[in-house]
Amino acid sequence: MPAIDLKGRDFVRLSDFSAEEIDSILNLAFEMKREQRQWSLKGKTVILLFFNSSLRTRTSMEIGVAQLDANAVVLNVGQDAWNLEWREGVVMDGDSPEHIKDAAKVLSRYGDIIAVRSFPKLKDYKEDSEDPILSSFVRYATAPIINLESAVEHPCQGLADLMTLREVFNHTTRRKKVVLSWAPHVKPLPLAVPHSFALAAALGGCDLTIACPEHFDLAPEVMAQAEAIAKKGGGNVRVERDQDKAFAGAEVIYAKSWCSRHFYGNPKAEFEYRAKLPSWTVTEQKMARTSRAKFMHCLPIRRNVVATDGVLDDEDCVVYQQAENRLHAQKALLFKMLDG
């Protein structure tokens, strides 16, 4: 087997790393979670650039970097740092005084890793699916890039989710019945988390059911990737339109709301369509159809919209364990990318 070497590489999609490389990160993450000893990245600097709000990603990255004895520099774009332009060749006479081309090259001279959060605008699917901000950083930075959630994926969440699945199933995730269920929300949300979770469950070799109404399918290229990965790991991926059927016998329910690619950029039409759907909120009654499934969600969650208080406050809810695993998984990722 080739040696695992993640130094100098970007982590923009879960598939940037092989199954063996993901395994090596998670093995270290479990070691870090178990053992109270010090792993040192002394002298290294991680730049965390946020185009959007965050609670977990920002705190888990900043605390993780501190626990590794390295330095974190956090910049909120448009507040601490200039608004950044990403379009090529434009006359920059708008409200962005700096281009990513320049910012990425400058930050690469200061930091050992640049980590970027940049949500989609949810107006133009083609533009969002090209992940323009993150792609510009990848193109122009000479330092490695970590995706802290972009338009297309949230691979750090995916790592923590796979770690949590392994804990839930005592490290034997193959053929476990895992359901990714679409859920309602007050606004259309990005596809990044469900994309990364589908890939994470596929990496675990789970039997993944994606329960969602018509017009809410994930991106076909992500589905194709998840199917190929699952097949390799002994699992499979299928889509189910009936939430009740999907929940029957499930061992994990991962709830998440995401927007419709069919109505992309047209929230009014999406909500008119959603109004005709039965309720997709995850309730105690629906959870009772499962095989005492664990409940997962990336957080933040709108209580009694996505899932009821009863589901979230139940002992089978593992959302805080999932959130904690962000810290361990990202520390292991940083250590592998910077030290090996």
List interacting residues with ligand CP (CB under 6 A).
54-57, 149, 157, 298-300
Q: Among residues 50 and 182, whose Cβ is nearest to ligand CP?
A: 50
Amino acid at 21: E
| Whether the Cβ atoms of residue 181 and residue 209 lie closer than 8 Å to each other | no
Q: Among residues 115 and 230, whose Cβ is nearest to ligand CP?
A: 115
What the block records as the tokens of 338 is: 């910077």
**At its nearest, how many Å lie between ligand CP and the CB of residue 58?**
6
Q: Among residues 99 and 154, whose Cβ is nearest to ligand CP?
A: 154
Rounded to whole angstroms, how far apart are CA atoms 191 and 328?
A: 24
Burial of 300 from C-beta contacts in 10 A (0-12 / 13-18 / 19+):
exposed
Q: Among residues 132 and 190, whose Cβ is nearest to ligand CP?
A: 190
Q: Among residues 230 and 282, whose Cβ is nearest to ligand CP?
A: 282
Rounded to whole angstroms, how far apart are CA atoms 325 and 160?
A: 5
**At its nearest, how many Å lie between ligand CP and the CB of residue 52?**
8
Rounded to whole angstroms, how far apart are CA atoms 16 and 38?
A: 28
**At its nearest, how many Å lie between ligand CP and the CB of residue 296?**
11
**At its nearest, how many Å lie between ligand CP and the CB of residue 102?**
27
78 torsion bin: left (phi>0), alpha (psi -120 to 50), beta (else): left
**At its nearest, how many Å lie between ligand CP and the CB of residue 19?**
23
Burial of 265 from C-beta contacts in 10 A (0-12 / 13-18 / 19+):
middle
Residues recorded for the chain = 340
**At its nearest, how many Å lie between ligand CP and the CB of residue 157?**
5
Burial of 50 from C-beta contacts in 10 A (0-12 / 13-18 / 19+):
buried
Rounded to whole angstroms, how far apart are CA atoms 46 and 143?
A: 10
| Whether the Cβ atoms of residue 30 and residue 57 lie closer than 8 Å to each other | no
**At its nearest, how many Å lie between ligand CP and the CB of residue 310?**
22
The 10 Å Cβ neighbour count of residue 212 is 23
Q: Is the dihedral of CA 291, 292, 298, 304 positive or negative?
A: positive
* DSSP category for residue 96: -
**At its nearest, how many Å lie between ligand CP and the CB of residue 146?**
13
Rounded to whole angstroms, how far apart are CA atoms 87 and 75?
A: 21
Amino acid at 210: I
**At its nearest, how many Å lie between ligand CP and the CB of residue 57?**
3
